[in-house]
Amino acid sequence: MDKELTSSIEKVRSAVKEELTHYLAEQRDYLTSIASELIPVCDALEDYLLEGGKRLRPLFAYAGFMAAGATPTRTDIRAMASLELLQACALIHDDLMDGSDTRRGKPAIHRHFESLHRQGSMSGVPEQFGAAAAVLLGDLALVWSDHMLHNAGLSHESLMAALRIHDEMRIELMAGQYLDVREAGEKEFSVERSLRIARYKSGKYTIERPLHLGAVIASPAQSEHGQLLNVLSAYGLPLGEAFQLRDDLLGIFGDPTVTGKPAGDDLREGKRTVLMAMTLEKASAPARRELQRDLGNPTLTVQRIEELRTIITETGAVAEVEKLIEGLATESKIAAQSSAIAADAQPFLLALADSAIRRSH
Amino acid sequence: MDKELTSSIEKVRSAVKEELTHYLAEQRDYLTSIASELIPVCDALEDYLLEGGKRLRPLFAYAGFMAAGATPTRTDIRAMASLELLQACALIHDDLMDGSDTRRGKPAIHRHFESLHRQGSMSGVPEQFGAAAAVLLGDLALVWSDHMLHNAGLSHESLMAALRIHDEMRIELMAGQYLDVREAGEKEFSVERSLRIARYKSGKYTIERPLHLGAVIASPAQSEHGQLLNVLSAYGLPLGEAFQLRDDLLGIFGDPTVTGKPAGDDLREGKRTVLMAMTLEKASAPARRELQRDLGNPTLTVQRIEELRTIITETGAVAEVEKLIEGLATESKIAAQSSAIAADAQPFLLALADSAIRRSH
| Beta-sheet pairing, B106-107 with B102-103 | antiparallel
> What is the count of structural domains for chain A?
1
User: For residue A261, what are the CA distances in angstroms to A38, A361, B107, B215, B300?
Assistant: 28, 9, 36, 49, 43
Inter-chain contact B135–A133, Cβ cutoff 8 Å?
no
Asked if B360 contacts B250 with a C-beta cutoff of 8 angstroms, the reply is yes
Is residue A45 classed as helix, strand or coil in its secondary structure? helix
Contacts of A318 (CB under 8 A, 6+ apart): A249, A253, A275, A312
The whole-angstrom separation of Cα A99 and Cα A109 is 11
The whole-angstrom separation of Cα A213 and Cα A247 is 24
DSSP character at residue B208: I
Please give the residue range of the domain that contains residue A28.
3-357
Q: At what angle do helices A126-150 and B74-98 cross, to 10 degrees?
A: 160
Contacts of B236 (CB under 8 A, 6+ apart): B60, B203, B207, B208, B211, B332
Chain B residues touching A150 at Cβ < 8 A: 163-164, 167
Half-sphere exposure of A63 (CA within 13 A, CB side): 30
User: What are the DSSP calls for B25-78, one per residue?
Assistant: HHHHHHHHHH-GGGHHHHHHHHHHHHS----HHHHHHHHHHHHTT----HHHHH
Inter-chain contact B124–A174, Cβ cutoff 8 Å?
no
CB-based contact, A97 to chain B, within 8 Å: yes
Please name the residue of chain B whose CA is at the shortest distance from the CA of residue A96: B132
Report the share of chain B in percent with pLDDT over 70. 100
Highest mean pLDDT among A50-54, A221-225, B120-124, B323-327: B323-327
Each residue's pLDDT tens digit, A50-108: 987 899 999 999 999 999 999 999 999 999 999 999 999 999 999 999 988 888 889 99
Q: What is the pLDDT of residue A1?
A: 64
Each residue's pLDDT tens digit, A26-54: 999 999 999 999 999 999 999 999 987 89
Nearest alpha carbon to residue A298 among A25, A101, A70, A74 = A101
Contacts of B349 (CB under 8 A, 6+ apart): B63, B67, B235, B336, B341
Q: Is A225 exposed, middle or buried (0-12, 13-18, 19+ CB in 10 A)?
A: exposed
Asked if A80 contacts A214 with a C-beta cutoff of 8 angstroms, the reply is yes
User: For residue B119, what are the CA distances in angstroms to A183, A353, B102, B112, B116?
Assistant: 16, 43, 19, 10, 5
CA dihedral over B282, B284, B285, B288, signed as positive or negative: negative
Each residue's pLDDT tens digit, B230-279: 999 999 999 999 999 999 999 999 988 888 778 888 999 889 999 999 99
Confidence of residue A241 (pLDDT cuts 50, 70, 90): very high
Asked if B127 contacts A176 with a C-beta cutoff of 8 angstroms, the reply is no
Rg of chain A on CA atoms, in Å: 21
Cross-chain CB nearest to A142 (options B139, B156, B177):
B139
Helical spans, DSSP H, in chain A: 3-34, 39-50, 56-67, 74-98, 109-119, 126-150, 156-183, 191-198, 209-218, 227-253, 256-259, 265-269, 274-282, 285-294, 302-314, 317-336, 345-357
Which CATH number do you get for residue A113?
A: 1.10.600.10
Distance between the two ends of chain B, CA-based, in angstroms? 17
Q: Name which of A114, A136, A144 to mutate to probe chain B: the one with the most chain B Cβ atoms within 10 A of its Cβ.
A: A136
Compute the nearest-CA separation of A343 from chain B (Å): 34
Kindly report the average pLDDT of chain A as a whole number.
Answer: 94
Q: Residues B336, B53, B51, CA angle at the centre, nearest 5°?
A: 150
Please name the residue of chain B whose CA is at the shortest distance from the CA of residue A166: B147
Does the pLDDT value for residue B140 go beyond 70? yes
ipTM above 0.90, yes or no: yes
